[in-house]
Amino acid sequence: MSILPKKEDSNCGTSCCGPAPMVLDLNTESLSKQKDIKIATSEITAANRLDHLFARLGIKRSEHRVEPGLYALGKPTRNSPVFVSANYTLSFDALRSSLVGIDGYILVLDTKGVNVWCAAGKGTFGTDELVFRIEVTGLADVVDHRVLIVPQLGATGVTAHKVKSRTGFKVEYGPVRASDLPEYMKDRRATDEMRRVRFTLLDRMVLAPVELLLMPKILLVVILGISLIGGVMGVFSAIVAILAGTILFPMLLPLLPTKDFSTKGFILGFLVILPFSWNAFMATDTIWWLHKGLALSFLLIMPPITAFFALNFTGASTFTSVVGVKKEIYRYVPIMALMFVIGVLLMIVLRLISITGGGSYV
């Protein structure tokens, strides 16, 4: 277990600093009298794992929260470390389950049930909320030191010098992954590997189900709209475009050329839709150009669908920045919309011609 030294002597440990530190009485009755400190353990139960599964699938999305406030983990003293977390259950559980055998406090911010990385970008895991939570929990009366260990991925939302000036607490940015905290706490230094943000295939694919399941209305509207004017091929191509953007895109993310997610999505969308477009282009009919026009409409409609879902994935990726995402939105969403509208109008015209002129396409 690593214990923070007292403020007045940064070089001494608990064995040489006078009286033994106070240990909080962690029974339920006494906690109610100690700044409403809640109890946390490092154990992950079956109920927790079920909650994690539901969160990954986007089920009851707004309910995966823990109550903001100050939590006692193990039997902390007035010198025990204070870790900062979001009130998203996956973030909170990842932290506490990594601190097995470490006595400390967890200061949970109200991030509206959003993880640290996304909440930092939105500002809910931010300076104002951290300052407010320090004050409302009376943290300064609970610990003697003035150091907070904040996740590295929360740095975009928390300005250290402002927290220091407003509360007296120093912000110490810990490693990227909670699992590295036990090693980090040995000397309070993060190695290059601890600072390195990884976004592996498994990391990306675990996000795919929620990206797909949280868009059922958009998915149904797109498929229904295309099916009414694009025939059977339109339905299949729309399904492929959506699956490419939500499942295939995160799988191939590092392999796709270009830097922007939108252009990556356009490229992927073009590749997966090309067989449908080619099939329509090569079809023969009494009105031969009808199929040529249909082939063009596929290339106008479907890649923007894939690109839209790819752009949506920026919110789940550590590859992007807030500024970069905003630039992408302003630069590429109008292009997506324009291509989609032109393609749909073309498909409608072709459908009307096929009905009135005796031609057909499926």
Residue 239: domain span: 205-357
Considering the domain boundaries, does residue 303 fall inside one? yes
Residue partners of 44: CB distance under 8 A and separation at least 6? 93, 97
Write out the two tokens for 235.
């339905």
Domain co-membership, 101 together with 193: yes
pLDDT tens-place string over residues 154-190: 998 999 999 999 999 999 999 989 999 999 999 888 8
DSSP 311-336: HHGGGG-TT--HHHHHHHHHHHHHHH
Q: Are residues 33 and 108 in the same domain?
A: yes
Residues 71 and 127 placed together within one structural domain of the fold: yes
pLDDT at site 57: 78
Q: State whether 212 and 184 are in the same domain.
A: no
DSSP state of 88: B
> Given pLDDT bands bounded at 50, 70 and 90, which one contains residue 291?
confident
Domain end marker among 167, 197, 227 = 197
- Mean pLDDT over 57-78 rounds to 90
Among 156, 177, 197, the domain boundary falls at 197
The per-residue pLDDT for 358 is: 54
Residue 282 located in a structural domain:
yes
- Shared domain check, 56 and 190: yes
Closest alpha carbon to 347 in 283, 301, 314? 301
Q: SS3 for 171? A: strand
pLDDT classification of 275: cutoffs 50, 70, 90: very high
β-sheet bridge partners, residue 71: 38, 106
Q: Give domain status of residue 154, yes or no.
A: yes
- Domain contains 22: no
**Overall size of the chain counted in residues:** 362
Please tell me the distance from the alpha carbon of residue 304 to that of residue 193, in angstroms, as a whole number.
37
Cβ partners under 8 Å of residue 288, min gap 6 = none
Can you give the pLDDT at residue 72?
96
Number of domains in the chain: 2
Same structural domain for residues 189 and 222? Answer: no
Residues 224 and 113 reside in one and the same domain: no
Residue 308 DSSP one-character state: H
Residue 131 pLDDT greater than 80, yes or no: yes
Q: What is the pLDDT of residues 29-55, one digit of tens each?
A: 444 345 589 999 999 999 999 988 888
Give the pLDDT confidence of 77-112 residue by residue, as tens digits: 999 999 999 999 999 999 999 999 999 999 999 999
Q: Is residue 186 located within the same domain as residue 216?
A: no
Asked if the structure places residue 108 within a domain, the reply is: yes
Q: Name the domain boundary from 179, 197, 215.
A: 197
Q: Can you give the CATH number for the domain in which 60 is found? A: 3.40.50.11600
Q: Is residue 67 part of a domain?
A: yes
Q: What is the mean pLDDT of the chain?
A: 82
Q: How many CA atoms lie within 13 A of 128 on its CB side?
A: 5
Domain presence at residue 173: yes
pLDDT band at 1 (very low <50, low <70, confident <90, very high): very low
357 three-state secondary structure: helix
Same domain? For 100 and 141 the reply is yes
- pLDDT tens for each residue of 219-270: 667 776 776 677 778 888 888 998 999 889 988 988 999 889 999 999 999 9
pLDDT digits (tens, 9 = 90+) for 318-340: 666 667 788 888 999 999 999 99
**Do 248 and 309 share a structural domain?**
yes
Q: Are 75 and 22 in contact (CB under 8 A)?
A: no
pLDDT at 116: 92
Q: Are residues 178 and 155 in the same domain?
A: yes
Residue 11 lies in a domain: no
Q: How far apart are CA 243 and CA 227, in angstroms?
A: 16
> Do 279 and 310 fall into the same domain?
yes
